[in-house]
Copies of this chain bind each other. A is one copy, B any other.
């Protein structure tokens, strides 16, 4: 069952990404009402394309449970997962996905394509737009500040 407290924790993690100059996305994985993995986007910091919040959280959750199957686990993430992350969620058999902001350019849970509705493949339940205003605001502030910095550098 969805709980705001877990999305708020994902938002706190997204703010840590923001502080590092990363696109602010945070994620937690919950099992039996407890957080078993936390992460935020660290692609730039770690110079690695694999290190989105969701993939890193799935990796850590598999380590925590010593299993590639995360059945009974829920993932909370502040932004609609991209193809890589949606695919990782499917591969790990996560039960429920709760995401905040929609991503109209790269979101793969309905916005661009829907990787959670492929016939014959594992299909998690998913719910978008949770704490959407907070999640979207953090992202739009980040991109606004990034543009201001870029314009300052150009001038």
Contacts of A70 in B (CB 8 A): 49
A61 to chain B: closest residue by CB? B49
Give which listed residue, B51, B90, B106, contacts A84 with CB less than 8 A: B90
A24-B43 Cα distance, complex, nearest whole Å: 29
Contact A49 B44 (CB under 8 A): no
Chain A 23-62 per-residue mask, 1 if CB under 8 angstroms from chain B, else 0: 0000000000000000000011001111110010011001
A62-B84 Cα distance, complex, nearest whole Å: 16
Contact B118 A113 (CB under 8 A): yes
A82 at interface, CB cutoff 8 A: yes
A118-B52 Cα distance, complex, nearest whole Å: 20
A20 at interface, CB cutoff 8 A: no
Q: Given A87-B83, A90-B84, does the pair A58, B62 have CB atoms closer than 8 Å? A: no
A118-B84 Cα distance, complex, nearest whole Å: 14
A1-B77 Cα distance, complex, nearest whole Å: 39
Contact A62 B87 (CB under 8 A): no
Contact A91 B84 (CB under 8 A): yes
> Which residues of A come within 8 Å of B, CB atoms?
43-44, 47-52, 55, 58-59, 62-63, 66-70, 82-88, 90-93, 105-106, 108, 112-113, 115, 118, 120-121
Selected A-B contacts with CB under 8 Å, 22 pairs? A43-B68, A47-B68, A48-B68, A49-B62, A49-B69, A50-B55, A55-B84, A82-B87, A82-B91, A83-B83, A83-B86, A83-B87, A83-B90, A84-B86, A84-B87, A84-B88, A86-B87, A106-B121, A112-B118, A113-B113, A113-B115, A113-B118
